[in-house]
């Protein structure tokens, strides 16, 4: 099964996960911006990884479109974000808003916690994070998750870990053997 990991990464967390996955699977890897329809058709399986950005999986719609119009490669998606994987309800909402019911059923999807890197973030993203932090600070009756988020986003942190790729690797190994 010819496989490629395609990633979109602004501050490096998704890139690191993509490299760990490609290393584990001994498969090709490419940055999203270098992928075209002609390169996609050469692969049976595309593992697409990107960051969560205000609840959206950055670039997911474009990769779905690219695959739909170029052959019939299988797609696996992984998303990285600042929130812990334990935030299961939020995560479930995110999957539901990024995929249709049908896509959810046929697209294996995985979450791997990354972190935040204010130094590598662009100006616009820093502005958005500041607006988000202010809104959280002013909010009354915060949930426990919101209180933790408010603390966590105050400064850069790195929660990435190679072990978080295990469920995805296990899944891929189960379909190729
Ligand atoms: C403007 C902005 C919005 C974000 N929205 C979310 C979000 O909705 N959920 C989440 O868990 N992380 C969110 N993050 C954190 C990123 O998803 C996280 O830093 C990710 O690992 C970055 O990946 P990258 O280094 O590959 O670009 C956001 C970050 C920024 C700057």
- What is the DSSP code (8-state) at residue 108? -
**C-alpha distance from residue 170 to each of 18, 56, 174 (Å):** 15, 25, 6
Atom of ligand 1 nearest to the CA of 128: 1
Nearest CA to ligand 1 atom 11: 81
pLDDT in tens, 83-134: 999 999 999 999 999 999 999 999 999 999 999 999 999 999 999 999 999 9
Report the C-alpha gap between 157 and 118 in whole angstroms.
Answer: 9
CATH code, domain carrying 33:
3.40.50.360
Look at the chain and report how many structural domains it folds into: 1
Nearest CA to ligand 1 atom 19: 116
Q: How would residue 37 be classed by pLDDT, with cut points 50, 70 and 90?
A: confident
What tokens were used for 157? 């942190």
Indicate whether 126 belongs to any domain: no
Indicate whether 50 belongs to any domain: yes
Indicate whether 103 belongs to any domain: yes
What tokens were used for 109? 């999807």
Per-residue pLDDT at 71: 82
SS3 34: helix
Distance 38 CA to ligand 1 centre (A): 30
pLDDT in tens, 139-163: 999 999 899 999 999 999 999 999 9
Nearest CA to ligand 1 atom 20: 81
């Amino acid at each position: 099964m010819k496989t490629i990991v395609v990633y979109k990464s602004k501050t490096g967390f998704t890139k690191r996960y993509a490299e760990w996955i490609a290393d584990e699977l001994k498969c090709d890897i490419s940055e999203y911006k270098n992928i075209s329809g002609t390169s996609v058709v050469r692969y049976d399986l595309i593992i697409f990884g990107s960051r969560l950005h205000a609840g959206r999986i950055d670039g997911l719609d474009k990769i779905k479109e690219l695959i739909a119009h170029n052959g019939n490669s299988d797609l696996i998606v992984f998303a990285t974000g600042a929130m812990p994987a334990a935030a299961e309800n939020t995560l479930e909402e995110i999957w539901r808003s990024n995929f249709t019911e049908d896509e959810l059923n046929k697209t294996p999807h995985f979450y791997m916690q990354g972190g935040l890197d204010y130094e590598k973030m662009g100006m616009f993203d820093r502005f958005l994070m500041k607006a988000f932090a202010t809104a959280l600070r002013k909010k009354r009756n915060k949930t426990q998750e919101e209180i933790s988020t408010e603390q966590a986003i105050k400064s850069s942190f790195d929660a990435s870990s190679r072990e978080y790729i295990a469920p995805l690797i296990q899944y891929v190994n189960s379909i190729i053997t």
